[in-house]
């Protein structure tokens, strides 16, 4: 019996040692994303909200209120925002973009997903310094709300914004 337990311990140790580099790479990727926010002085903010017709007709979630909520959260987090007019003039400004999908599936349930992406201008060194934009930080969440709790969607969106604000302020202070 002792031999079996000893072999199980050895096997478990080998598996954990084999998985260790995988965990380290994942942590390294998160660090890279956070480090990509270093030195950013200002950014734009945009929201995209997609929902099916029956949910849109309820009118409880409005893109303008999501935009205002996001802008206020970023300002409260002491992040300087670039105006929408200025953003339209060039694609060379950093942009925090929130994409929300929600679907009324009937029976009082609304599954939703929220993704938050930070885009910034980059140069592709291996492609003759071609200038473009790329997502360098991202986070997301999935959820489900009932008709009487649709406010969970903007609350979840605000939670993602707070995650971004925390990462931004931690690396820039």
At 107-153, the pLDDT tens digits run 889 999 999 999 998 888 887 888 888 899 999 999 999 989 999 99
Domain regions of the chain by residue span? 36-172
| Residues contacting 18, CB < 8 A, separation 6+ | none
Torsion angles phi and psi, residue 98, rounded to 5: -110, 130
Element (H, E) at 121: strand 109-124
CATH code linked to domain 36-172: 3.40.50
Residue 167 binned pLDDT confidence (cut-offs 50, 70, 90): very high
Q: What is the pLDDT of residues 11-20, one digit of tens each?
A: 655 555 555 5
Q: What is the mean pLDDT of residues 5-31?
A: 60
Residue written as token pair 């660090």: 31
Beta carbons of 72 and 81 less than 8 angstroms apart: no
pLDDT tens per residue across span 68-108: 999 999 999 999 999 988 988 887 899 999 999 999 988 88
pTM, two decimals, is 0.80
Long-range Cβ contacts of 10-19 (<8 Å, 24+ apart): none
């Amino acid at each position: 019996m002792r031999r079996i337990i000893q072999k199980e311990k050895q096997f478990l140790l080998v598996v954990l040692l084999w998985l260790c580099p995988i965990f380290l790479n994942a942590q390294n990727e998160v660090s890279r994303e956070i480090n990509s926010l270093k030195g950013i002085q200002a950014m734009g903010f945009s929201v995209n909200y997609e929902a099916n017709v029956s949910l849109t007709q309820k009118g409880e979630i409005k893109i303008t209120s999501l935009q205002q909520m996001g802008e206020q959260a970023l300002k409260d987090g002491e992040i300087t925002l670039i105006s929408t007019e200025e953003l339209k003039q060039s694609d060379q400004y950093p942009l925090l973009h929130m994409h929300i999908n929600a679907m009324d599936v009937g029976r009082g349930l609304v599954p939703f997903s929220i993704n938050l992406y930070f885009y910034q201008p980059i140069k592709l060194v291996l492609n003759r310094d071609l200038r473009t934009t790329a997502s360098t930080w991202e986070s997301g969440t999935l959820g489900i709300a009932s008709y009487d709790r649709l406010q969970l969607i903007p609350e979840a969106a605000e939670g993602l914004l707070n995650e971004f604000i925390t990462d931004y302020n931690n690396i820039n202070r």
